[in-house]
Amino acid sequence: MMILLKINSEKCKGCRLCERACPKGLLHLSKTSLNAKGYQPAEISDLLSCIGCAACARTCPDLCIEIAKQEEAQ
Amino acid sequence: MTEKVLFGRTKGLLDVEMHYCPGCGHGIVHRLIAEVLEEMDLLPVSAGVSPVGCAVFAYKYFACDMFEAAHGRAPAVATGIKRVHPDHCVFTYQGDGDLASIGTAEIVHAAHRGEKITTIFINNAIYGMTGGQMAPTTLVGQKTTTCQTGRDRDHCGAPIRVAEMLATLEGAAYIERTAVNSNANIIRTKKAIRKAFEAQMARKGFSLVEILSTCPTNWGKSPVESMQWLESDMLPYYPLGVFKEV
Amino acid sequence: MTKHLMKGCEAIAEAAIRGGCRYFFGYPITPQNDIPEYMSARLPEVGGVFLQAESEVAASNMVYGAAGAGARVMTSSSSPGISLKQEGISTIAGAELPCVIVNVMRGGPGIGGIQASQGDYFQSVKGGGHGDYRLIVFGPASIQETVDIMYDVFDIADRYQNGVMILADGLIGQMMEPVELPDFKTAEQMRVDKPWAAIGWSEDCGKPRAVINSLYIEDWELESLHERLQSRYRDIEKNEVRYDTYHTEGAEIIIAAYGTISRVAQAAIDEMRDRGWKVGMVRPITLWPFPSRAVYEAAAQPTVKKVLTVEISAGQMVEDVRLAVNGLKPVEFLGWPGSRIATTDEIMAKVKEMREG
C-alpha cells in the first residue's frame, strides 16, 4: 500500500502552510525549481513515509494537493 | 493495483485559479463550503452572495449561481433571493469590514428575522482588499494603516465579538466560531459549516459560522507566522465554540 | 366597469399586484406608508411576499436579490428614503436587472416636509445614484393614470431589464379618486424568458451559471457593459416616450408641466381660453425618456411666442424643456421649491405678463 501525493506545482504559491501542517515534516519548498509564477513550489521529500493524513491538503488554500491510496487489487 | 482517492478536488469549486495571496485563509474556507454543499447535494439549488472585500471575486469560484452584493448588503440580497426561492440554499460570504462595519444593520436584522440563510463570516482582524485599514475586529494595540501606532481603546473602542452578539437574537438558530489555524480546527470548521447549512435547510432560522483567519499581506507576516499570530493573539480574544444551537 | 374610490397609495399597490408584482420590500416613511401597509395584507392573499426591511438601503438590496432571482419585485418610499436607495438603484442598473420603484415625493432637501413636492426630478432623471445609467421615469398626474402605469411597468421593466421609477407625489399618494382597476394579468401575459436569472444551476442544465453582478474590474469589461446599457437606452428612447397635449395647436403660449401641477395648469388654461387667450400645454408622462420632440414641435409653431414651465420646485424639468426648445423661443419658469403649489390665478398672472412682455 502506498500513498500517492500529488502536488500541482504550477498552482503552488509557496506559502508553506503544508510544511507547517505535515506531522512528519515531509514537505518543503523546492530549493531547485521555480514555477511560472516565480514561487518555489512545495515538494514531498519522502513519499514512502507519508501516512495520507491529508493535513497538508486540508490546509492548502489553492487546492494544490491530491492524495490517493494505491493498493494491491484483491 | 487500484487507486482510491483519499483527498480529491471538490466539484463545488470551478476549475479556476483563485486570486488570493499566498497562505490566505479564503481558499481554505471556500473549499470547505464547496465540499459541504457537494456532500449535501445542494449545489444545483444553491445561490451564494459575495461581499466587497478580497472575496469579491468569490462569484467566479463556486459552482452554483452567484450574486455580487454592495458592501455590507449581502444579507439583504440573500433575503431577497431566499424569499423568492424558499427551498433553495442561500449563503453569504463576508469579511469583517463587510459584515461588522457597514453591514451591521443587515446582519443583525437577518438574524433577528430568523432569515433562513447561512452566513460564513471571515474574521481576519483587518481590511484586506483596500490595503490593511482597521476593522471593527482589529485587536487593541494591533497596528493597521488607519491606526498606525496600534488600535487605541480609548479613541475607538475594543473589537466587536460578532458571534456572541448575534447569539443573543431569537432568530439565530446556529452560531459557532471556529478557526483555520490547524488541521483539527479546519476539520471542526467544516463540521460547523455543515451544521449551519443543515439548520438552514431544516428551516430552523439564521445560521452563521465566524471563522478566524489570517491576512499575511496586511499583517506584514509570512503565512506561517500569521497562523502563529492567530493562535497567540486572536484565539484568547475570540473564543472558539458554539454560541447558539436550537 | 365599476369604479372604486381609492386612496392613491392603495391604488398603486393594488394595480402593481394586478400587473404581476409578487414581492415587495419597503420601509415606513410619510406620505407613502399606505403602500407597505396595503402590501403587507394583500400580497399574502395572492401568494406573494411582503417584508418590511430594516431600512430603505436594505430594502433596495432585497429588491436586487429578488430581481436577480427572477421575480417581479417592487419597492416604494418618499424622497429621503429614495436618497437612501440610490446605492441599490445604481447596483441594479449595473447588474441589468428589472425592478419598480415608487417615489411619493415630499418636500426636501434633508428631512424636509411631508407634503407634496416635485423636488426629486433631477434625482430621478439625471441619476441620483452614481455612474452612467438611466431609469425609465413616469410622472403621472392622476390616480387613474398612476394605476394604468403601475399595471404596465413590470412588463416594461422585464422587457428592457431596467429599473422603472414612478415619480408620484404626496397629493397623488394621499388623495382619493374614483379608479377603474384592471384585471389581473395572467401567467401567460407575464411570461418573459429570463435565462440570466438565478433559479438554480448544474453543469448539464443547458444554460450558463447565473452571475448577478455589477463589478467589471477590467476596463474592456466595463466598456462592454456600457455598450449594452447605452443600446438599451436608445431602444427605450425610441419606444417608450409618453406625453399628452392640451390645446397646443395654434397656441401663443405653451405650458410644460407634469404630475399634479399639470392639473392646476389645465384648469388655468381652461379659464384663459374662456378669455380668448391661446394657451396650450405639453404634459410629459415619461420624464425619462423626455418627450423632447413633442416639446420642440409645440414650441416651434410660428404662433408660439414663449414657453412656460410650471413645477413644484425651484425649477428642474425647466432645464430639459430649455434643452428641448433649443433656444428657439424663450422659456420661463413659475414655481416654488418645497410644497407651495402655484394657483390658477398665479399661473394666469404669469401668462398675462408673458403675453404682454
* Per-residue confidence (pLDDT) for residue C323, from 0 to 100: 98
List the domain range (segments joined by +) for residue A43.
2-70
Q: What percent of chain B has pLDDT over 90?
A: 99
- For cell 425649477, what's the residue? C315
Phi, psi for C294 (deg, rounded to 5)? -65, -40
CA of B40 to nearest chain A CA: how many angstroms apart?
Answer: 19
Domain CATH code at residue B120: 3.40.50.970
Residue type, B162: V
Q: What percent of chain C has pLDDT over 90?
A: 98
Give the separation between CA C103 and CA B154, rounded to whole angstroms.
Answer: 43
Give the separation between CA B104 and CA B162, rounded to whole angstroms.
Answer: 9
* Per-residue confidence (pLDDT) for residue C224, from 0 to 100: 97
Contact: chain A with chain B (3+ CB pairs below 8 Å): yes
Contact B223 A15 (CB under 8 A): yes
Give the separation between CA B112 and CA B99, rounded to whole angstroms.
Answer: 15
Residue C273 predicted with pLDDT over 90: yes
Within a domain: B17: no
- Residues C190-233: tens digit of each pLDDT: 888 999 999 999 999 999 999 999 999 999 999 999 999 999 99
Return the residue of A nearest to B26 by Cα: A61
- Residues B173-223: tens digit of each pLDDT: 999 999 999 999 999 999 999 999 999 999 999 999 999 999 999 999 999
CA C213 to chain centre: 25
- Per the CB < 8 A criterion, the answer to whether B54 and B46 are in contact is no
Residue B137 predicted with pLDDT over 70: yes
Give the separation between CA C117 and CA C122, rounded to whole angstroms.
Answer: 13
* Per-residue confidence (pLDDT) for residue C166, from 0 to 100: 98
Give the separation between CA C146 and CA C142, rounded to whole angstroms.
Answer: 6
- Select from C194, C201, C205, C214 the residue whose CB has the most chain B CBs within 10 Å, as the one to mutate to test that interface: C201
Residue C329 predicted with pLDDT over 90: yes
Residue A50 predicted with pLDDT over 90: yes
* Per-residue confidence (pLDDT) for residue B59, from 0 to 100: 96
Within a domain: B84: yes
- Residues C156-172: tens digit of each pLDDT: 999 999 999 999 999 99
- Is some CB atom of chain A closer than 8 A to the CB atom of B183? yes
Query: Looking at residues C84-112, what average pLDDT do you find?
Result: 97
Domain CATH code at residue A34: 3.30.70.20
> Global pTM?
0.95
* Per-residue confidence (pLDDT) for residue A72, from 0 to 100: 79
Contact B68 C214 (CB under 8 A): yes
- Per the CB < 8 A criterion, the answer to whether B32 and B186 are in contact is yes
* Per-residue confidence (pLDDT) for residue C191, from 0 to 100: 84
* Per-residue confidence (pLDDT) for residue C258, from 0 to 100: 98
Contact A3 B6 (CB under 8 A): yes
- Select from B183, B188, B213, B219 the residue whose CB has the most chain A CBs within 10 Å, as the one to mutate to test that interface: B183
Residue A73 predicted with pLDDT over 80: no
List the domain range (segments joined by +) for residue B223.
25-245
3-state secondary structure of B243: strand
Spell out the residues 6+ positions from residue C7 whose beta carbon is closer than 8 angstroms to its own: C34, C173, C174, C175, C176
- Select from B14, B57, B83 the residue whose CB has the most chain C CBs within 10 Å, as the one to mutate to test that interface: B83
Number of domains making up chain A = 1
Pairing of strands B172-179, B241-245: antiparallel
CA of C25 to nearest chain B CA: how many angstroms apart?
Answer: 8
Give the separation between CA C271 and CA C290, rounded to whole angstroms.
Answer: 28
Within a domain: B50: yes
- Is some CB atom of chain A closer than 8 A to the CB atom of B41? no
* Per-residue confidence (pLDDT) for residue A74, from 0 to 100: 66
- Per the CB < 8 A criterion, the answer to whether B159 and B96 are in contact is no
Give the separation between CA C59 and CA C70, rounded to whole angstroms.
Answer: 17
- For cell 398665479, what's the residue? C346
* Per-residue confidence (pLDDT) for residue B1, from 0 to 100: 82
- Is some CB atom of chain A closer than 8 A to the CB atom of B184? no
- Residues C110-142: tens digit of each pLDDT: 999 999 999 999 999 998 999 999 999 999 999
What domains are there in chain C, each with its CATH number?
4-195+230-238 (3.40.50.970), 244-356 (3.40.50.920)
Strands (E), chain C: 4-7, 23-26, 49-52, 73-77, 99-105, 136-138, 163-169, 176-179, 211-212, 243-246, 253-256, 279-284, 286-288, 306-311, 331-335
Contact B3 A66 (CB under 8 A): no
Residue B225 predicted with pLDDT over 70: yes
Within a domain: B13: no
Query: Looking at residues C268-294, what average pLDDT do you find?
Result: 98
List all chains that touch chain A, counting a touch as 3 or more CB pairs closer than 8 Å.
B
Give the separation between CA C68 and CA C92, rounded to whole angstroms.
Answer: 9
Query: Looking at residues C245-259, what average pLDDT do you find?
Result: 98
* Per-residue confidence (pLDDT) for residue C1, from 0 to 100: 76
On chain B, the residues whose CB falls within 8 A of the CB of A53 are: 183
**Among candidate residues C25, C120, C60, the one with its CA nearest the CA of residue C316:** C120
* Per-residue confidence (pLDDT) for residue B116, from 0 to 100: 98
Number of domains making up chain B = 1
